Amino acid sequence: MSEREIDRQLVERARRGDKRAFELLVEKYRRRLLRLLSRMVRNAEEVEDIAQETFIKAYRALPNFRGDAAFYTWLYRIGVNTAKNFLANRGRNMPTVSDQAMSDEDEPDERLVAQDVNTPESMLLSKQVALAVNEAVEALPEELRTAITLREMEGLSYEEIATLMGCPIGTVRSRIFRAREAIAAKLRPILGTSEDKRW
Amino acid sequence: MNKLNLVTAPDTRSEEWVSAMLDGELETDDCLQAISRLGKDASASRRWAEYCLIGDVLRACPQDSAGLGARLQAALAEEPTIVAPLPSPTIERRPLYWVAAAAAVAAITWGVLHSTPETGPAIPVAVLATPAEPSPVAANDVMPLLAAHQDYTYAVVSDPDMKFTAIAASEGRR
């Protein structure tokens, strides 16, 4: 089942009354949505307010989601419209960023530098998280580092990674899982993540 | 293709399936199980969140403030729960229903065409049929009702002929 189909299944569960399914989608896409919105709105607090409004609008509009487009495409469209309305109400113009660059998440425009939406208080935490992730990746055995990099940064499928690395798909799956676990182990002390903390 | 059953694997302690699910690398049946389990399993949910964060950091997505997740969760909790499942599966997904319906129609048609009366010659239907006549009693019963309600119906009030008919019927009833 592809990522798109999994998203659609989560949407369907949310439509059947399972809010937790929608929360999983929020968890998956909220930072990507922030990246999109931060290209339109510069103030960090406003970006987060718009992101929150976007998710609530999306949740309310779930009955209208037909599944013709990918969930994230639909969500980003709501986000862009919410940001446009926000800017219009404030009497501001959007930065000169093409609509194509804003809506095409699969091929992000490299010319655009993501704005940092963190407040000063959370910037330290963000830096710590980024540092921990990068250090953890560097410390991984080469086969794990290659597997997680090809997956997360290049977006390759397990089959493509298996072909590139010359190993079975099961091995790729295991390497990516182990890489994630190793990185997560470095993050948990920083995040203060406990077993019952879901966000 | 080449996707293994991880959710129901004997080693249930392993949560490799969370990682595979995030990447869209689970079989359909496994995935449906995984989605159901993910919503209930706190440890799996935590991993889902951690893996999402790791991927976003590696892709250089901006990180949100510590409170956004909690605010979103609180805001969603205040929203009324939606219950609007998609319509029943599409025609393409349920061909057997259409095969069964077609078979039933064919059977009924065959039965009608091949059934013959056991006694007596065939009689033309037109001979047996008698024209149905409206029951005057029934019409008289209905007309007062129509007359009583005509004020609520724009079309009836605006049609002088029908209004006349209704009033005449009402007076005839008295």
Q: What is the pLDDT of residue A191?
A: 85
Q: Which residue of B has its CA nearest to A48?
A: B68
Q: Which of A179-183, B98-102, B129-133, B146-150 has the lowest mean pLDDT?
A: B129-133
pLDDT of residue A87: 92
Of the segments B54-58, B86-90, B142-146, which one has the largest average pLDDT value? Answer: B54-58
**A residues 167..186 contacting B (CB < 8 A):** 169-170, 173-174, 176-177, 180, 183-184
Q: Lowest-pLDDT range, A116-120, B38-42, B45-49?
A: A116-120
Give the mean model confidence (pLDDT) for residues B104-109. Answer: 81
Check CB contact under 8 Å for B61 and A35: yes
Q: Is B21 in Cβ contact with A180 (below 8 Å)?
A: no
Distance from CA of B91 to the nearest CA of A (A): 16
Q: What is the pLDDT of residue B20?
A: 94
| Cβ distance of A173 and B25 shorter than 8 Å | yes
User: Which is higher by pLDDT, B5 or A28?
Assistant: A28
Whether the CB of A119 is below 8 Å from some CB of chain B: the reply is yes
CB–CB of B69 and A31 under 8 A?
no
Yes or no, beta carbons of A13 and B35 under 8 Å apart:
yes
Cα angle, residue B11 at apex, residues B7 and B14 outer, rounded to 5°: 70
- Stated as kind and residue range, the H or E segment containing B107 is helix B95-114
What is the per-residue pLDDT for A79? 96
pLDDT on residue A177: 96
DSSP states of chain A: --HHHHHHHHHHHHHTT-HHHHHHHHHHHHHHHHHHHHTT---HHHHHHHHHHHHHHHHHTGGG--SSS-HHHHHHHHHHHHHHHHHHHHT-PPPS--HHHHH--SS--TTPPPPP---HHHHHHHHHHHHHHHHHHHHS-HHHHHHHHHHHTT---HHHHHHHHTS-HHHHHHHHHHHHHHHHHHHHHHHT--TT---
Q: Which tokens hold the place of A177? A: 């899982």
Please identify among residues 105-134 of chain B the ones whose CB lies closer than 8 Å to any CB of chain A: none
Write down the pLDDT at residue A20.
Answer: 92
Q: Is A67 on the interface with B (CB under 8 A)?
A: yes
Chain segment B67-94, per-residue pLDDT in tens: 888 899 999 999 998 887 766 554 445 5
pLDDT in tens, chain A (199 residues): 888 999 999 999 999 999 999 999 999 999 999 999 999 998 888 999 999 999 999 999 999 898 889 999 999 999 999 999 999 988 765 554 444 444 434 434 333 334 444 556 677 888 899 999 999 999 999 999 999 999 999 999 999 999 999 999 999 999 999 999 999 999 999 888 754 444 4
B35 contacts chain A (CB < 8 A): yes
* Residue B49 near chain A (CB below 8 Å): yes
Residue B54 has pLDDT above 90, yes or no: yes
What whole-number distance in Å separates Cα of residue A23 and Cα of residue A15?
Answer: 12
Comparing A90 with B46, the larger pLDDT belongs to B46
ipTM: 0.82
Q: How far apart are CA A179 and CA B64, in angstroms?
A: 23
Which residues of chain B are within 8 Å of residue A125 when distances are taken between CB atoms?
A: 63, 66
Using CA coordinates, name the residue in chain A closest to B84: A15
Distance CA(A184)–CA(A181), nearest Å, equals 5
What pLDDT is stored for residue A116 in this prediction?
A: 46
**A18: which chain B residues are within 8 Å (Cβ-Cβ)?**
39
- Which residues in chain A have their CB less than 8 angstroms from residue B16's CB? 173-174, 177
CA dist., res. B162 & res. B170, Å (int): 12
**Any chain B CB within 8 A of the CB of A190?**
no
- Cβ <8 Å between B46 and A197: yes
Residue B112, class by beta-carbon neighbours within 10 Å (0-12 exposed, 13-18 middle, 19+ buried)?
A: exposed
pLDDT score of A84: 95
| Contact indicator for B47, A184 with CB cutoff of 8 Å | yes
Whether B1 shows a pLDDT value over 80: the answer reads: no
**A30 or B153, which is more confident?**
A30
Task: Reduce the DSSP state of residue B57 to 3 states and report it.
Answer: helix
- Using CB atoms, which residue from B32, B48, B61 is nearest to A27? B48
pTM of the model: 0.67
